[in-house]
Amino acid sequence: AEDIEKFSRRTVRVTREHNAECQKLLKLMGVPFIIAPTEAEAQCAVLAKGGKVYAAASEDMDTLTFETPILLRHLTYSEQRKEPIQEIHLDKVMEGLGMERNQFVDLCILLGCDYLDPVPKVGPSTALKLIREHKTLEGVVDYIKNDSKSKYTLPEDWPFADARELFLNPDVRPADHPDCDFKWEKPDIEGLVTFLVTEKGFSEDRVRSAGARLEKNMKGSQQSRLDGFFKMMPKTDEEKQAHKRKLDEKNEEKKKKAKLDKKEKAQAKAKPRGA
């Protein structure tokens, strides 16, 4: 079943008709939207950085390379899958990795992105190690090409500098652009029924029920809250344990640093003056 699902994902292609229908649905729901010049994730990141939206929602982790402060994953998963919505904060990711943005972008490119294939035999741990040792992709590429000890091979056509430029300077509308001046409208319930029920064969009861919820949330606030439409689930035990491990590791590092500082101060005091 998993193989069938994976194959199905690969065979589904978004068409212009799909895009047009999505835009029509959003208009009928009264939800504002923008058509991104190129990368949708890059445009969402700009909106999140500019405070126009709370977060960028995507399954693509590359969204973080466009500097969205917050990334939401699994937002559109069905409740049957029982996958909690993940909220990933970029500043915490950077702090955990101990990296600046440029290095983080290089790391993501090394692991493989929408623009380039990954380097064979280079997984997350190896990629992190290579970036930390060689600082930049230029350094990593030089090591792979010229060091006899290197066991890695770069793909034949691998223009990493071009990929980096697309991440660092994407073609987007700035947050203060007129197209980003969003305004929520009252949903067109009858229009939704015509489109979804008459044309697409959805259940009328479900469409009207969802429309009523949308109207109710719109009356409560100009911008509907996420939890009005999605069930927020608590963190899993595995996620809690991973979070605890990170905190423990951080505290342990602080203790070691404090101990080392104390030792160095004691040694400095013990040195004879004028020596």
SS (H, E, C) 156-170: CCCCHHHHHHHHHCC
Range of the domain at 97: 57-179
Query: Of residues 225 and 39, which shows the higher confidence score?
Result: 39
Same domain, 164 and 81: yes
pLDDT at 29 over 60: yes
The answer to whether residue 102 sits within a structural domain is yes
Instruction: State which of 157, 179, 201 marks the end of a domain.
Output: 179
Query: Of residues 189 and 274, which shows the higher confidence score?
Result: 189
Q: By three-state DSSP, how is residue 13 classified?
A: coil
- pLDDT at residue 271, rounded to an integer: 64
Instruction: State which of 136, 159, 179 marks the end of a domain.
Output: 179
Query: Of residues 190 and 11, which shows the higher confidence score?
Result: 190
The answer to whether residue 214 sits within a structural domain is no
The answer to whether residue 109 sits within a structural domain is yes
Same domain, 94 and 173: yes
The answer to whether residue 204 sits within a structural domain is no
Instruction: State which of 133, 160, 179 marks the end of a domain.
Output: 179
The answer to whether residue 197 sits within a structural domain is no
Q: What is the mean pLDDT of the chain?
A: 85
Number of structural domains found in the chain: 2
- The predicted model gives 200-224 an average pLDDT of 85
Which residues are within 8 A (CB) of 39 and not within 5 positions of it... i.e. 6 or more apart? Answer: 66, 166, 170, 171, 172
pLDDT at 182 over 80: yes
- The predicted model gives 67-84 an average pLDDT of 84
The answer to whether residue 136 sits within a structural domain is yes
Same domain, 172 and 88: yes
- pLDDT at residue 224, rounded to an integer: 45
- The predicted model gives 106-126 an average pLDDT of 91
CA distance 145 to 137: 12
Same domain, 70 and 170: yes
The answer to whether residue 173 sits within a structural domain is yes
Same domain, 170 and 247: no
Tell me how far CA of residue 73 lies from CA of 61, 88, 204, in angstroms.
9, 8, 29
Q: Is 187 exposed, middle or buried (0-12, 13-18, 19+ CB in 10 A)?
A: buried
The answer to whether residue 92 sits within a structural domain is yes
Same domain, 263 and 158: no
Q: Can you give the CATH number for the domain in which 164 is found?
A: 1.10.150.20
